[in-house]
Structure 1
Amino acid sequence: MRRNIFYLLGAIACFLANVPTAFASGLWNYTYDSNNDSIAGNGFGGLRIGGTGYEVYGTGYKIDNNSFIFGVSTNLPREGRYTGPSLGNFSIENNSIALGDLLLNFKGVSLDGANGELLGIRFVPTNDAGVGGTGLFARVTAISKAGENAGWRLAPWRDTVQSRGGNPTHGALSANDSYFGGNPYVPTVIGGGVKLADITLLDAFGLLQEGFNTGMFGGSQIFGFKLDRSFLPEGSFIASLFYECFNDGTAFFGNVPPVSSIGFPISNMPIVSDPLPARPVPVPAAFLGIAAAGLFGGKKLLQRKQQVKA
């Protein structure tokens, strides 16, 4: 019994030390983003923070022997927000504001350092990317389109959210993370690249059929894509996904393992070295209560057993 109590203590200690923003469930790997770091007008000449139409709530991806599957939970549909040619005093390219492209960085350096050698997946056909159609693209040079979409630079977005009580984050990375290299205009869409493969667009039902937990994040819109995993290199990566206007977005760590190793969660912790890994989330009070009850019960049982032996 003493050994069992020690095992329980060790398990609880490990749990408390490793509850991350990113976690795995089955073959799906999920990452939460702050739900109060998007910005919109409040209708009275001021700003509203959090829960706006531009909010990104989280992402999930799964890799099996055949496919890479990705889903995102947001408040805007895949086609984005139709604005017409302008929004307020700002001109809008393509008459809409939508999500940018999913950028995958396998190089182990900053986003700027890898620019030109990124992989990019365009799964929002209405965004302002410099390539046509949807699909997987290689040798990607990513660019910012914030200026063409009534958008934000990194520091003003972060400071505005913070000054109004919000919590600006980029999923598993902080809003100050060195991965973005201090670039005031963070790249959000594919500027150019070479198409490698087509993708299959998935709506919420299609993702649900693939095992995506559609009730996890709380966004009103869920969509994503599926592609042939054979077009991806093996190894660890950092992924980023932002709105064209850089009003919100997210990033996460991932890994493409050898086919023979698939069958268990593969990105339950940060894989690419970074000074600011996934931020912890509060441990549920219910778990602490259960853990405390287990320890108390185990102690009583051990005392009873010792009394019987005496």
Structure 2
Amino acid sequence: MASRRGQAIDGVLLLDKPEGLSSNHALQRARRILDARKAGHTGTLDPFATGLMILCFGEATKFSAGMFDADKSYQATLRFGAETDTGDLTGNPLGERAGGPWPFLADTAALQAALATFVGPQLQVPPMYSALKRDGKPLYAYARAGIELEREARPVTIHAITLLGVDAAAGEARIEVACSKGTYIRTLGQDIGRALGCGAHLAALRRTRTAGFDLADACTLETLEAQADPAARLLPVDSLLADLPAHTLSEPLAARFVLGQTVPDESGAQTGARVRVRGPGETFLGTARLNGRWVKPERLMAFNKESST
């Protein structure tokens, strides 16, 4: 997360990250374009990867925690013939390159069968070139120093793998992967290459969906910069909480709720339900838990940011 002097802007931006930028660099560029005081993102993409990033500004950063646990979808290009130390085209080849042409690209039945074996719950060993930390230091820092560490396999789930197309001449296949949080598509690509007996690495990776948001609704940094009012691209803060039912309070109760007070619940909603609370005019106020006949605040929007800075 980053903060500096600027405008107190609240909202969510769906960004189509370009190739070559780190996730933080993309965030900083968007923040400068919007002149936003406070910003954060909900999950990194490797510099070589492109696609959907959810950027949160101002008060939206308070409500973004659930985004990290969301399922995701990617489109990936597998290049067969060699693994690399990074698992993608930016790395150095490991071992000798295997020669093509690959029969499974001419008759894809074997490729389809191999992909099907990776669908479902499984254990996946994170790559050394990752942002996971050991003793406060990211694994990629060890990898760049030539140090290989033991990594514990972690449970992930591949919900589906779809073969989108093949390029036999280039020795490549394009796939779409729907997966759980924590899944490394670079590792998946490497494992698929091993299953086919020829090695593989990612030639391209593009995130297309996460947490109900779609890449089709995202904008590029260039599009954002060209807009007369870049803030018009922002979604409301509670778009991050679309899975929670909305609960509306009348004016007197809303005024007490934003002060952190538990207020009466006259809706008859299910006890224990977690809700996103709105006041008059559909103004998003925060999240709450319905507790018996009461609405108990959990996390609140701040409406006096300018006076408190």
Output the TM-score relative to the length of structure 1. 0.22
Q: Which has the larger radius of gyration?
A: 2
The higher-RCO structure (CA 8 Å, 6+ apart) is 1
